[in-house]
Amino acid sequence: MKLKMTLLAAAIALSTNAMANNESSIEQTGFGNHADATQYSGWFGGNNDSTIEQDGGNNQASALQSGLRNEATQLQEGWGNRSQVSQRDAFNEAVVNQSGINNESQVAQEGRNSAAMVNQNGYYNTSSVYQAGGDYAAVTQDGQGNDSDVTQTGRDDVALVTQTGSYHDSSVEQGGHDNYAKIEQSGFDQDSTVTQRGQDNAATVYQSGAHNDSTISQRDENNYATVSQSGFGQSSDIYQSGESNFAETAQSGFNNDATVEQTGWDGDSYITQSGYNDMASVTQDGVGNESTITQGALGGFVGSMMSMAANNATVVQHGYNNASTVTQTGGGNVANVYQY
């Protein structure tokens, strides 16, 4: 009996040691750099891999891993950059690459099979990624003072964020599964927020110019929203719930405002604004409703001056298979459409 117990204990010890097998590599060049790597195996963990490389001064990096086969790579070059990776459970991957001055990245992964890629270059950029399991996030920031926040609490969600320029702010929050969000910002001081709940929703935002703002909120299933903004001071809000709704807003010029709210099924909204100070509002619920609004300025110097007065278009449709088209060119035009 004693021999059997001894053999059993030896087998357990051998199994535990074989499962652990964690690997950590730290390489530092310069002065004042600091790195921490902590790896826990637990009962069924191990085979975690952490790599930290720092070149420059006063950079800080930390890796905390518990579970099975997690991978974390942190590469920093420059001055005062900070990176933190926390991984739990199994088969997660995080890669952080920062160069410049005082950039900061935080990646937290729980659950299984998530991947986060963060690439920051410049000054005072900040990135935060949280993943609950089975999600993918890629964040690229090049410039100064940019901020990105990605929160994924479902599974198989995808978030892609690219910011080039200065002082952009983006937020992506996804729950449910198989949702897709893409944000591309360039120029100066862009702001974008995407919130998605449910499944198979998609949102894309493209911003250039300065001081543009976009909000997309979607829930339920198979909704799609896309926003394209250039120029100065544009504002777009899209809210969709139900199934298979589509909203497209394109803005250029300056200081235009568009709001879309769709509930129900198979609603379509198209808004194009290319003038100055124009306002468009679309509210649709029911099934199969469609709205198109086009607003623009007159040509030439005199036409441009006259077009400074705001065009205003409001479309409200309830019920089934309603259709509305509004086209406004110039300034000070007002159109109201109500269909029930």
Phi, psi of 244 (to 5 degrees): 60, 40
The yes-or-no verdict on residue 196 having pLDDT over 70 is yes
What are 86's strand-pairing partners? 64, 108
Strands 71-79, 93-101: pairing kind: parallel
Answer yes or no: is pLDDT of 9 > 90. no
Provide the 10 A C-beta neighbour count for residue 338.
12
Residue 8 has pLDDT above 60, yes or no: no
| 266: three-class secondary structure by DSSP | coil
Contact 192, 165 (CB under 8 A): no
Contact present, 128 and 150 (Cβ < 8 Å): yes
Give mean pLDDT, residues 191-213.
98
- Look at residue 236 in the predicted model and tell me its pLDDT: 98
Q: What's the chain's average pLDDT?
A: 92
Residue 14 makes CB contacts below 8 A (sequence gap 6+) with none
Read off the pLDDT of each residue in 128-143 and give the average, rounded to a whole number. 97
> Can you tell me whether residue 91 is helix, strand or coil?
coil
Whether the Cβ atoms of residue 253 and residue 273 lie closer than 8 Å to each other? yes
Confidence of residue 173 (pLDDT cuts 50, 70, 90): very high
CB 199, CB 179: distance < 8 Å: yes
Task: Say how far apart CA 51 and CA 29 lie, in whole Å.
Answer: 14
**What average pLDDT score do residues 257-270 get?**
98
Angle at 151 between CA 147 and CA 153, to 5 degrees: 175
Structure tokens at 252: 């250029």
* pLDDT at 7 > cutoff 70: no
User: Mean per-residue pLDDT for 125-131?
Assistant: 98
What are residue 147's DSSP bridge partners? 126, 169
Q: Among 221, 139, 151, which residue's Cα sits nearest to residue 183?
A: 139
Given a cut of 50, whether residue 4 has pLDDT beyond it is no
Which pLDDT score, from 0 to 100, does residue 139 have? Answer: 98
CA distance 279 to 336: 12
307 vs 73, higher pLDDT: 73
Amino acid 141: pLDDT: 98
pLDDT bin (cut points 50, 70, 90) of residue 10 is: very low
333, burial (CB in 10 Å: exposed 0-12, middle 13-18, buried 19+) = middle
H-only helix segments in the chain: 2-20, 300-306
> pTM value?
0.92
Q: What DSSP letter does each residue of 177-212 carry, written as one string? A: BS-EEEEEEEEES-EEEEEE-SBS-EEEEEE-SBS-
Whether residue 6 is predicted with pLDDT greater than 60 in this model: the reply is: no
Helix or strand or coil: residue 304?
helix
For residue 155, give Cα distances in angstroms to 106, 114, 138: 20, 9, 15
What pLDDT was estimated at residue 133?
A: 87
| 153/309 Cα distance (integer angstroms) | 45
String of DSSP letters for 44-85: T-B--EEEEEEEEES-EEEEEEESBS-EEEEEEEEES-EEEE
Q: How far apart are CA 190 and CA 331, in angstroms?
A: 26
Residue 1 has pLDDT above 70, yes or no: no
pLDDT for residue 3 is more than 50:
no
At 306-322, the pLDDT tens digits run 556 789 999 999 999 99
pLDDT at residue 45 is higher than 80: no
**Tokens of residue 302, six digits:** 């005199």
List the beta bridge partners of residue 64: 38, 86
Residue with tokens 């394109």: 250
Average pLDDT over residues 121-135: 97
Rounded CA separation 237/259 (Å)? 5
298: confidence class by pLDDT, cuts 50, 70, 90: confident
Report whether pLDDT(251) > 70: yes
pLDDT of residue 302: 52
Among 29-43, 204-218, 220-234, whose mean pLDDT is lowest?
29-43
Q: What is the pLDDT, as a whole number, of residue 12?
A: 39
The percentage of the chain sitting over the pLDDT mark of 90, rounded to a whole number, equals 87
